[in-house]
Amino acid sequence: MEWVLYLCYAVGVLLAIMGLYMLSGRGKWLLAGYNTSDPKEQERLEREYDIVLMVRLVGLMLLLISIALVVMISGLIGTTLGIIFLLSSIYIPLMVIVIGHFTFLKRK
């Protein structure tokens, strides 16, 4: 079962790398739906929304999830507190993105 720990650490490191890449403002191709839409639709989305800010928010969420995952696996905090930390690192940024979709991510 030790390989499961190594696999979880590898996933945490991969999420951290992706999060740091997206925090730099690049990585639009990692956004779900954006990379599969046609160029005309991508252009419309870039006019309508601040895509770079959205990419940074998703990068922050990935970084928080990776930190929570590694901290929880390492046993630095208890299991219950670790689960609360992991869920809050997912749902709080997700709520910010959903609320931001209608407010500060929308271009005027």
Domain boundaries, the chain: 2-102
What does the pLDDT read at residue 76? Answer: 67
Quick one: pLDDT at residue 41? Answer: 92
Residue 105 tokens, joined: 């991510």
The model's pLDDT over 50-94, given as tens digits with 9 standing for 90+, comes to: 888 889 888 888 888 888 888 777 776 677 787 787 788 778 878
Considering the chain, what is the average pLDDT of its residues?
85
**What is the structure's pLDDT at 94?**
80
Q: Which of 17-21, 42-46, 71-75 has the highest mean pLDDT?
A: 17-21
pLDDT at 23: 92
Indicate whether 45 pLDDT > 70: yes
What is the per-residue pLDDT for 22?
A: 94
User: Pick the residue with more confidence: 19 or 98?
Assistant: 19
